[in-house]
Structure 1
Amino acid sequence: MAFTSPSTSTSCPAAPTPPPPLSAQSVIIVGSGLAGLAAASQLVAHKVPVHMLDRAPKPGGNSIKASSGINGVPTRFQPLKDDTPGLFFNDTINSAGGVLLLRSSSDQVLLREQLIRTLTSSAGSAVNWLVDENGIDLSRVVQLGGHSRPRTHRGAGEKPPGVAIVSTLLGLLEKNPLFKLQTDATVTKVLREDEEVLGVEYTCEGDSSTTATKTEEKLHGPVIFASGGFAGDAHGLLAKYRPDLAGVPTTNQAREGSQPLLTDIGAGLLDMESVQVHPTGFIDPKDPAAQVKFLAAEALRGEGAIMLLENGTRFVNELETRKNVTDAIMRSAATTTPENTRQWPVNLVLDEGAAEAASSHLGFYTWKGLVRKTTVSELGTSALQTIQDYADIVSGRKTDEYHRTSFGSWTLTDVRPDSVMYVGQVTPVVHFTMGGVTINERSEVLDMDMKQIRGLWAAGEVAGGVHGQNRLGGSSLLECVVFGRIAGDQAAKFYQEHYATRLDDL
């Protein structure tokens, strides 16, 4: 089944509107993905008005496409009760790589560690907030690559977690009179005076009956940036910081990164060269050279899927970190370059048990023609032996030479030529940017001297330092909730202390 974005509250007006009076000032949120929605939810809970801007025609950002889940520990849904924030912290540190030790000042290392500690220590409360206060089902838990315990949550129904979370929060906000959303609104400048951010300028894309028009607008108030990363900025920031990724397909639509808007007013940057290449983006048989690809959710591998080379053999522990799995694919698979798109095709294979557990994903993937139902015989004799070996590993008859220990919902034990398989062809894809503007554990944007820029916060993929050189699956939605809520709380406090005083002086 296909999923669509929820409808927006308002689009930009076609003609200029007069500036609002000072009494109408709001906290401005740039971006309508999960980080922005989490911040907005906190702000309206504090009775603070919100004006959200998004340059896309529909809200939700990349968050609405998230398909694997959100990490949480400890929660009542986890099948194992031996997980702790400390274990999650250690897994995240191990995934983050040498950036915590090398090529960084001691201040940057300490900052990253504090951001990671904030992320992991808040994971349980983030999931509880979504479930208990917003009514979102996150009762299904799996173990993804790089994690030592099952802790990635999603719903048991048919909606992928990104759709479920974003649509629920947006629906609740749209009922609140303190919340206003404008789409087709592109921020062009951040207004900073006397060491404080005072608002933004933005271009409003309107549409009249005869012609499209653009209007220049200004908003005044504290600002939260939740505008996402730059993985789709192939000819801009991505080309500047990672030219080696030219030609590698992406899961992101072409869109400029927004970090330059913040560096223009003095914001620092952290880890901009740290770009995550996800190991599995689907190669569409109808358009194999497409530069933008659908992500093959890591949850598929979490539920038991394996990856096979063209010769039918396995080559990696499919639940290693994304970086390690990607490196193994690029090292082991043959490189192809259809229409100058650099690809490393491998087969992603699920049995009926794994497919059933991941049915909310498989329904969409098969509808799109990205996954096909077939039999082992179609994959060849070598694949039959490989799949039988894996089935023996799952059932405990063999140990895995690649040291995989979690097998999700795989149920096939005796493999025959007519055994049913679900197969899709995948390749590594540029997916996520770990780098961005520098923030602290209070989501405050810092300048190049690591000092706070007053009146400005950032949360989500626009910020850097939270993941180091490699992000664990399930931590992008978590980052959005944790730091989005922090930004909302901090901006609410700032607004009540500073803007209420200004209003009283009128």
Structure 2
Amino acid sequence: MTITYALIQMLEKVAEKTDRARIITKAEVFKLILNGKAVVGCEYRKAGAVHKEFGPVIFASGGFGADFGSDSLLAQYRPDLLHLPTTNGEHCTGDAIKMGEAIGATTTDLEWVQVHPTGLVKPDDPDAKVKFLAAEALRGVGGLVLDANGKRFANELGRRDYVTGEMWKSKPPFRLCLNKAAADEIIWHAKHYTGRGVMKFYESGAALAKDMGVPLQTLVDTHQAHYDAAKKTEKDPDGGKWPAYPSGKSWDEASGKTGSGKKFYHNVIDGSKVATEPFYVAIITPVIHYCMGGLECTVLGECITKAGVIPGLYVAGEAAGGIHGNNRLGGNSLLDCVVFGRVSGKAAVKYTFGAGDKFRLCPSPLELKELVK
């Protein structure tokens, strides 16, 4: 939200300073305008009326992670995920991809949809289709993921697809638990999530065990085993019996059995402290998070058909496919937006003004008269 707000503020400042940039709100683009094989504008609905805008089009409307209809892209390419909630806004329904396909644009990697392991469940609205995301940082500072029985079952620092896969094999509900040291390191997040009602503060591990309906000794044993593995790793990093992630050997049995043993530990506590240790805890669930697939494009962000580049149509961000392979790395989505946002913007300007900065309107004045009839 912070990033989005800052971007909107900057766009508003640009629009205030020039009559060559406008922000149109509460509008829905639904169709591309063609002049032969070139895209020369788009049609949109606003306040019940249809309007037209002319010029090159850059799609930057996100993916299809909230497209749950029976004829949706999810239903077509990943029907096995339709039952999951999503971290995507309700606007992420793949509209740009569908409009591109309607004029022959090719797509790529639409079957690759990233499921994130830590969507935050709000206890008073557990079935909400759209959920907040628990950032990786919560696990990075030492948060442990526990199953319904209060036991660890995976390497919390493993890849998103790995952690999610281990959750499928284990018993829900799952909890992300931060001890005091871990929570203090990322206290803004902990308090923010608590204020949102998706995380709960417990005065002690005893209170947490009671709320979970598990013996306190189970939480004690879980933390003690994790602590012991951390201490053994300090003394002999590769002396464990289990295969580790990303390489070497691990002392951690809970994750080692999965073939992706834990090697890095932060803010660990021994079992003797659990009973009186304060915790911040969230119930978590796998959620649809990011679509690696989208409209196929060139290195300039130009959309393409099987025959070549579509003049006047560009794409950036999650609407573009083929940038991240089959499993995007955390943090790279913003990088993608910045890089292809700049690249496609420059390409669209160059296309509009033509060689040597000589203005070239597309469509031409005579063609424009025909198109607006």
The TM-score bracket by the shorter chain reads 0.7 to 0.9
Aligned-pair CA distance for 1:493: 1.6
SS in 2 for 1:180: coil
Aligned-pair CA distance for 1:356: 2.3
Counterpart contact for 1:352–1:412, Cα < 8 Å: no
Alignment partner, residue 358 of structure 1? 186
Amino acid at match of 2:224: Q
Aligned 1:403-418 pairs, distance under 5 A: 403-407=261-265, 410=267, 412=269, 415-418=273-276
Counterpart contact for 2:352–2:361, Cα < 8 Å: no
For structure 2, list consecutive stretches of 5 or more residues without a partner in the other structure: 210-215, 237-250, 256-260, 366-373
Aligned 1:357-506 pairs, distance under 5 A: 357-374=185-202, 375-377=204-206, 378-379=208-209, 380-395=216-231, 396=234, 399-401=251-253, 402=255, 403-407=261-265, 410=267, 412=269, 415-449=273-307, 451-497=308-354, 500-502=358-360
Alignment partner, residue 295 of structure 1? 133
The one of 62, 77, 94 aligned to 1:257: 94
- CA deviations on 1:307-338 (whole Å, 9 max, x unpaired) are 011111111111211111111101122xxxxx
Alignment partner, residue 165 of structure 2? 327
Aligned-pair CA distance for 1:460: 0.8
Task: State the identity as a percent.
Answer: 39
Aligned 1:240-279 pairs, distance under 5 A: 240-255=76-91, 256-258=93-95, 259-279=97-117
Alpha-carbon distance between aligned partners in 2 of 1:163 and 1:187, rounded to the nearest angstrom: 20
Aligned 1:27-426 pairs, distance under 5 A: 64=1, 162-163=3-4, 165-167=6-8, 169-170=10-11, 172-177=13-18, 178-204=20-46, 206=47, 214-235=48-69, 236-255=72-91, 256-258=93-95, 259-333=97-171, 344-374=172-202, 375-377=204-206, 378-379=208-209, 380-395=216-231, 396=234, 399-401=251-253, 402=255, 403-407=261-265, 410=267, 412=269, 415-426=273-284
Alpha-carbon distance between aligned partners in 2 of 1:311 and 1:394, rounded to the nearest angstrom: 22
SS in 2 for 1:390: helix
Kindly tell me: are residues 421 and 448 of structure 1, through their superposed partners in 2, closer, same or farther at Cα, counting changes over 3 Å?
same
- CA deviations on 1:250-290 (whole Å, 9 max, x unpaired) are 22344432111011111001011111111111111111122
Q: CA RMSD, aligned part only?
A: 2.4
Kindly tell me: are residues 189 and 503 of structure 1, through their superposed partners in 2, closer, same or farther at Cα, counting changes over 3 Å?
closer
Alpha-carbon distance between aligned partners in 1 of 2:226 and 2:8, rounded to the nearest angstrom: 38
Counterpart contact for 2:223–2:274, Cα < 8 Å: no
Q: Please tell me whether Structure 1 or Structure 2 has the larger radius of gyration of its CA atoms.
A: 2
Kindly tell me: are residues 226 and 190 of structure 1, through their superposed partners in 2, closer, same or farther at Cα, counting changes over 3 Å?
same
Amino acid at match of 1:345: P
Aligned-pair CA distance for 1:397: 6.4
Kindly tell me: are residues 501 and 368 of structure 1, through their superposed partners in 2, closer, same or farther at Cα, counting changes over 3 Å?
closer
SS in 2 for 1:415: helix
SS in 1 for 2:340: helix
Amino acid at match of 2:197: G
Aligned-pair CA distance for 1:234: 0.5
Alpha-carbon distance between aligned partners in 2 of 1:460 and 1:397, rounded to the nearest angstrom: 44
Counterpart contact for 1:312–1:386, Cα < 8 Å: yes
Give the TM-score of the pair, scaled to structure 2: 0.81
